[in-house]
C-alpha cells in the first residue's frame, strides 16, 4: 500500500504540540480591525487549541 500524502493546506494551518494537541490561528484578524478593541485583537493573536471532535480528522490529514 502506498504512503499517505500529507494535506499541505491543513499542515500549514496547524501546529502539533509536544503532547499531541493541535494549535490553530484565530479567525477575524485579517481585516476590519478598526471596530475591534485592542484587547480583542490581542487575544485573537494567540493560538487556540483544536476541539477534540475535530482533532482526529486533522491529525490524519497531517499524518501526525
pLDDT per residue as tens digits for the range 5-63: 999 999 999 999 999 999 999 999 999 999 999 999 999 999 999 999 999 999 999 98
Q: What are the Cα distances from residue 36, in Å, to 23, 39, 43, 64?
A: 23, 8, 11, 36
Q: Is residue 31 part of a domain?
A: yes
- Alpha-carbon distance of 50 to 13, in angstroms, equals 11
Range of the domain at 27: 8-62
Q: Model-level pTM greater than 0.75?
A: yes
Q: Is residue 28 part of a domain?
A: yes
Instruction: Provide the number of structural domains found in the chain.
Output: 1
Amino acid at each position: 500500500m502506498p504512503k499517505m500524502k500529507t494535506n499541505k493546506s491543513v499542515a500549514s494551518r496547524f501546529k502539533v504540540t509536544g503532547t499531541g494537541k493541535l494549535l490553530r490561528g484565530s479567525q477575524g484578524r485579517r481585516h476590519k480591525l478598526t471596530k475591534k478593541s485592542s484587547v480583542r485583537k490581542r487575544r485573537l493573536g494567540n493560538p487556540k487549541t483544536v476541539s477534540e471532535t475535530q482533532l482526529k480528522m486533522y491529525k490524519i490529514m497531517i499524518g501526525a
